[in-house]
C-alpha cells in the first residue's frame, strides 16, 4: 500500500477500531464436525483505509489467539467483493497467510469460499497451488450457493449478511455462467455464479 494511500490518514488504533467495528472477522458457531468457525465478510473490508500491517496486527492480537489449541474452519463470504473497493490484493492475502502462527495454521481444516467470482476461481485454479503452502489450496471448498454451506456449517449458529441471501435469490432468476469451471478441483460444488451489487448490509438471523 503506497504512502499516499488514505490508510496513512488513520492512526493504527483507528484502523484497528474500524476492523473491529465492521466485524469483518468473527469467530462464531461450529461446523457440522463441531469445529470452531471463523466467519470473514469480504465486502466489508475497507481496503482503501486499512493497511496490510494494521490488518495483520489485528489478526495476531485479536483472532489467532482464539483459534489456538483446536481445529477450526473458515467461512469466507466473497459476495460483491470489488477489486478497487474491498479486496486487499493477492500479496496482502499471502502475507496474512504467512503470518498465521504454525500452531494455528495446522489446525485449519477447511475454507468454505462462498459465492466465488469468475476471476477468483480462475486465479486460484492457476496460481493457488503456488501461492499457498501447506496444502491450503486443497482445503478450499467453493460454494456457489449458501444452501451448500449448510451441508458443512450449523446454520443456526452463524450470521450471514442479507446481501448474500439476496445474491442467492437473484441466482434463482438469472441462471448460468460458469458450469463446469475448475472441474479438475475435487471439492467444487457446481451451480450458477454471478456477482450482484447490493449497497445495504445487515445480518439475517436464521432459526
Question: Each residue of 61-115: pLDDT tens digit?
Answer: 999 999 988 999 999 998 888 766 777 666 667 777 778 888 898 899 999 999 8
Distance CA 135, CA 148 (A): 23
* pLDDT computed for residue 81 by the predictor: 83
Q: Residue 161's closest CA among 16, 30, 28?
A: 28
Distance CA 122, CA 116 (A): 10
* Number of domains into which the chain is organized: 1
Residue 51: band (very low, low, confident or very high) from pLDDT cuts 50, 70, 90:
confident
3-state SS assignment for residue 43? helix
In a domain, 76, yes or no: yes
Q: What is the mean pLDDT of the chain?
A: 76
Task: Give yes or no for residue 175 having a pLDDT over 70.
Answer: no
In a domain, 56, yes or no: yes
* pLDDT computed for residue 207 by the predictor: 28
**pTM, full prediction:** 0.77
* pLDDT computed for residue 120 by the predictor: 76
In a domain, 193, yes or no: no
Distance CA 137, CA 114 (A): 15
User: 105-114, 147-156, 179-188 — which is least confidently predicted?
Assistant: 179-188
In a domain, 184, yes or no: no
3-state SS assignment for residue 66? helix
In a domain, 36, yes or no: no
In a domain, 205, yes or no: no
Task: Give yes or no for residue 43 having a pLDDT over 90.
Answer: no
Residue 173 vs residue 46, higher pLDDT = 46
Mean pLDDT on 195-200 = 36
* pLDDT computed for residue 89 by the predictor: 64
Mean pLDDT on 138-149 = 90
Residue 11 vs residue 161, higher pLDDT = 161
Mean pLDDT on 183-193 = 36
Task: Give yes or no for residue 169 having a pLDDT over 60.
Answer: yes
CATH assignment at residue 162 = 3.40.525.10
Whose grid coordinates read 469445529? 35
Neighbouring-strand partners of residue 53: none
Mean pLDDT on 123-138 = 71
In a domain, 148, yes or no: yes
* pLDDT computed for residue 198 by the predictor: 35
In a domain, 38, yes or no: no
Q: Which domain holds residue 125?
A: 44-173
Amino acid at each position: 500500500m503506497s504512502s499516499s494511500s488514505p490508510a496513512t490518514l488513520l492512526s493504527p488504533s483507528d484502523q484497528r477500531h474500524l476492523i473491529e467495528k465492521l466485524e469483518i472477522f468473527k469467530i462464531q458457531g461450529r461446523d457440522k464436525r463441531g469445529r470452531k468457525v471463523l466467519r470473514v465478510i469480504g465486502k466489508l473490508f475497507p481496503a482503501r483505509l486499512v493497511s496490510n500491517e494494521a490488518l495483520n496486527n489485528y489478526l495476531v492480537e485479536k483472532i489467532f489467539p482464539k483459534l489456538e489449541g483446536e481445529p477450526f474452519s473458515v467461512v469466507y463470504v466473497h459476495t460483491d467483493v470489488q477489486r478497487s473497493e474491498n479486496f486487499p490484493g493477492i500479496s496482502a492475502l499471502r502475507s496474512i497467510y504467512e503470518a498465521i502462527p504454525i500452531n494455528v495454521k495446522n489446525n485449519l481444516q477447511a475454507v468454505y469460499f462462498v459465492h466465488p467470482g469468475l476471476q477468483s476461481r480462475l486465479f486460484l485454479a492457476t496460481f493457488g497451488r503456488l501461492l499457498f503452502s501447506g496444502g491450503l489450496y486443497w482445503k478450499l471448498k467453493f460454494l456457489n450457493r449458501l444452501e451448500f454451506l449448510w451441508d458443512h456449517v450449523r446454520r443456526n449458529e452463524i450470521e450471514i449478511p442479507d446481501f448474500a441471501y439476496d445474491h442467492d435469490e437473484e441466482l434463482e432468476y438469472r441462471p448460468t455462467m460458469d458450469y463446469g469451471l475448475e472441474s479438475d478441483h475435487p471439492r467444487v460444488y457446481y451451480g450458477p455464479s454471478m456477482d450482484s451489487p447490493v449497497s445495504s448490509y445487515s445480518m439475517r438471523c436464521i432459526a
